[in-house]
Amino acid sequence: MQKLFMLAVALILKATAFSQTTVYLIPSLHGIHKTNAKYNYDSIKATVQRIHPDVIAVEIRKEDISSDTAYLKQNYPYEMWMMRYWFPTTTIEGFDWLGTELEGKPIPNRYWQDHSRIKALQKLLSLDTVYSKKLANCQLYADQRMTILNNSTLKGILLSNDAVLIKEYYDCLTQQLRGSDYEELTTFYDTRNQQMMQRLKELVTLYSGKRIVVITGDDHAPYLRAFLSKQNVMLKQPY
């Protein structure tokens, strides 16, 4: 009887292990992939290929995931929209969020150049000499990150203090911009991360028991990793 009980327990544990949702979070570098020979577009493609996922979640809005290439080129990083061409037989899902005003709608032509309030605020902030001085300490974190991102492999980035520097930078930015005309920027950054998390929660539920690769911009990675670590998934390193 005891042997039968132990066998039943073993079978249950085995079944649970097989049904466990596995998530690999891959931070991408957008344009830096063009210049970092140690972590270029071929590197990120090879990493996904090795993992052989059932689902690839990319930083594209759910509304846009089936859009044509010309539209995606205008609005999203190369490595995000290329996934569907690199892996045509793999399910591709989107989890990005770009603002309440765009929800459920296509992104208008020249939106980023002519209509985006966030892009306009970012430009104003970059030209504001008063705030340039206030943000000098924040920039130190960004400069340290760039040294890592420009010269490291994917594994090197993940084993470095990049995640710490990201949080230090955004904490600094939030503190310095609080109460200013630019506070809307950090509110948007926080809201975007939260919206991404909720979409990922939907996806790990929808694809329960599957192997999922999540590709996100490096700036979002520490926040999404912390969130995913609290979900009912097995979170694995992609290297």
Domain layout of the chain by residue ranges: 33-236
Instruction: Please say if the pLDDT value at position 198 is more than 50.
Output: yes
The answer to whether 58 and 64 are in contact (CB under 8 A) is: no
The answer to whether 29 and 149 are in contact (CB under 8 A) is: yes
Instruction: Please say if the pLDDT value at position 15 is more than 60.
Output: no
Kindly list the distances between the CA atom of residue 46 and the CA atoms of 26, 41, 125, 239, in Å, as whole numbers in the listed order. Answer: 12, 9, 38, 11
Average pLDDT of every residue of the chain: 94
Confidence of residue 16 (pLDDT cuts 50, 70, 90): very low
Predicted TM-score (pTM) of this structure: 0.91
Confidence of residue 200 (pLDDT cuts 50, 70, 90): very high
Instruction: Please say if the pLDDT value at position 4 is more than 90.
Output: no
| Token pair listed for 169 | 């930078």
Q: Which residues, other chains included, contact 175 with Cβ-Cβ below 8 Å and sequence gap of 6+?
A: none
| Token pair listed for 176 | 């310095």
Instruction: Please say if the pLDDT value at position 185 is more than 80.
Output: yes
**Would you tell me the crossing angle of helices 136-151 and 162-177 to the nearest 10 degrees?**
160
Identify the pLDDT of residue 9. Answer: 45
The per-residue pLDDT for range 117-170, each reduced to its tens digit, is 999 999 999 999 999 999 999 999 999 999 999 999 999 999 999 999 999 999
Secondary structure of the chain as H, E, C letters: CHHHHHHHHHHHHHHHHHHCCEEEEEEECHHHHHCCCCCCHHHHHHHHHHHCCCEEEEEEEHHHCCCCHHHHHHHCCHHHHCHHHHCCCCEEEEEECCCHHHCCCCCCCCHHHHCCHHHHHHHHHHHCHHHHHHCHHHHHHHHHHHHHHHHCCHHHHHHCCHHHHHHHHHHHHHHHHCCCCCHHHHHHHHHHHHHHHHHHHHHHHHCCCCEEEEEEECCCHHHHHHHHCCCCCEEECCC
Instruction: Please say if the pLDDT value at position 17 is more than 70.
Output: no
Q: What does the pLDDT average to over 96-113? A: 97
- Residue with token string 């989107």: 94
Identify the pLDDT of residue 11. Answer: 46
